[in-house]
Amino acid sequence: MAQKDKKDRLKARKPRGLVDRTADDIASVGQMLDAIRRVYELYGFDAVETPLIEYTDCLGKFLPDQDRPNAGVFSFQDDDEQWLSLRYDLTAPLARYVAEHFDQSPKPYRSYRVGYVFRNEKPGPGRYRQFMQFDADSVGAPSVSADAEMCMMAADCLEALGVKRGDYLVRVNNRKVLDGIMDRIGLGDASAADTRLTVLRAIDKLDRLGTTGVEALLGTGRMDESGDYTKGAGLDPQAIDIVLGFVTAGGKNAAETTANLERLVGSSETGLAGVSELAAMATLFDAAGYDATRILIDPSIVRGLEYYTGPVYEAELTFQVNNEDGEPVRFGSVGGGGRYDGLVGRFRAEDVPATGFSIGVSRLASALEALGRLASEPVAGPVVVLVMDRDEIGSYQKMVTDLRQAGIRAELYHGGSGMKAQMKYADRRHAPCVVIQGSNEREEGVVQIKDLNEGKRLASEIDDNAAWREARPAQVTVAEADLVSTVTEILARQDDAPIRNAG
């Protein structure tokens, strides 16, 4: 093909908020997923997987970001004009799945799922439009023992991933308590649903905006640094005080916190039910030996999703790391969940009690990397057989095949360049050694094998070029028949050497 005109050329580019992943990232996140899977399975959950595309109406619209036209979801129409969407979480598709297979499933139905979800949102640092979640859910489980278990499992997962006790905290609250507060400030009716949601999302921003920010959002509204104005819930000062009292009701132990909450909800039945659920969960944490340094009843946690109906929980990393500007930051939430008794019920005559926990895999991976806890043993490079003479490519191919049949990662050089470029290629691939056979070697029935790692080490010791050529270190010439055994020896020697063939 002729040289192309630059203006006809397509620009290779990726849409915003999407990432390409490298071999090291894939390997280390893979090990992380295996560790989470082992904990979820230990807890009795079984794997299930749903497709990435669902009917839009089956997913429902429960995302916090409602300011944008399609409410944070990627949607498109099918041939029969029905709307389809990419799943935005792993809970809504599970609700569809369980409702569809309800009669054949054991109840409770306990499953875990891992996979990508999509948000059609404005991307930002650490905020992607495609990211991975790892969820576990108990559907048909009315007892808060199912919720308590999720919190313990969150703690166990983080410890299995190498996060030390004291470096994480699982915070627990209950939406029914919040509903009790809403009752008290006159927002209990169906007609106040929108205002309730605004209050919920205001509280959910406590971590980011602090009490003053939340106070503004509960009142008339708030202008952020960029000048964007968010309309507030319009509560009167007394109601704001009650809500802020709820948010800051955490005491020094579960008994004190639940006592505070009991006072705040007054006579609201829903509120009192929520308080008693929190107390029941505290008993279970206590019985299983998860103290308040690991799982804490904390009224400031509400979660942004609309569909929660009871206990909500959030797993947070509490240690500090320095960001790119050298400022200390906390990682914050790496997972969370809660009870969603109405979500499966949308499809059925009866409500179906359910609770679930979700780990934000990509976010947690970044955190573990900062902790130095993300396994990152690089995949060892392949042995490269150089192509010195194109007419003899069959014999080079045979060497590669012999190495592979002995279980040795190996490849033929498939490029079109000469010896120097081939050596450079082997180096970039982190090849442990290269195999060379020129015409002289072929006549003698031998091959040269260069140990690239040993070569690098010696190169740092010998600085006289003449001496180097004389010694020809890290290079052996062996009979063709001894190729596999010699390479095997070199690889074994490198495995024992202190300097690894790092990627």
Q: Is the dihedral of CA 83, 89, 376, 13 positive or negative?
A: positive
Q: Is 62 in the site for a copy of itself (CB under 8 A)?
A: no
What residues contact 372, with CB distance under 8 A and at least 6 apart? none
HSE, CB side, 13 Å, CA atoms: give it for residue 425. 19
Q: Is 54 in the site for a copy of itself (CB under 8 A)?
A: yes
Distances (CA, A) of 472 to 386, 454, 462, 467: 18, 12, 11, 8
Single out the residue of 64, 140, 219, 438 in contact with a copy of itself (rule: CB under 8 A).
140
Shortest approach of a copy of itself to residue 470 CB, angstroms? 31
The contact mask relative to a copy of itself for 427-446 (x = CB under 8 A, - = no) is -xx-----------------
Single out the residue of 166, 332, 415, 418 in contact with a copy of itself (rule: CB under 8 A).
415
Closer by beta carbon to a copy of itself, 43 or else 319 = 43
**Selected range binding a copy of itself among 179-187, 323-331, 349-357, 468-476, rule: CB under 8 A:** 349-357
Residue keyed to tokens 């894939």: 26
The string of DSSP codes covering 219-282 is TTEEE-TTS-EEE-----HHHHHHHHHHHT---SSHHHHHHHHHHHHTT-HHHHHHHHHHHHHH
Q: Is 407 in the site for a copy of itself (CB under 8 A)?
A: yes
Shortest approach of a copy of itself to residue 250 CB, angstroms? 23
CA distance 172 to 174: 7
Closer by beta carbon to a copy of itself, 379 or else 471 = 379
Question: In this structure, are residues 449 and 403 in contact, taking their beta carbons and an 8 Å threshold?
Answer: no
Q: Is 502 in the site for a copy of itself (CB under 8 A)?
A: no
Closer by beta carbon to a copy of itself, 46 or else 236 = 46
Please report, as residue ranges, which positions from 298 to 317 form the binding site for a copy of itself (by CB under 8 A): none
The contact mask relative to a copy of itself for 252-291 (x = CB under 8 A, - = no) is ----------------------------x--xx-xxxx--
The contact mask relative to a copy of itself for 316-345 (x = CB under 8 A, - = no) is --------------------------x--x
Give me the long-range contacts of 397-400 (CB less than 8 A, separation at least 24). Answer: 399/435, 399/437, 399/447, 399/480, 399/483
**Selected range binding a copy of itself among 162-170, 213-221, 230-238, 425-433, rule: CB under 8 A:** 425-433
Q: Is 419 in the site for a copy of itself (CB under 8 A)?
A: no
The contact mask relative to a copy of itself for 146-165 (x = CB under 8 A, - = no) is x-xx--x---x---------
Q: Which residues pair with 221 in a beta bridge?
A: 231
Give the type of residue at 70. N
Q: What angle do CA 43, 303, 149 make, to 5 degrees?
A: 15
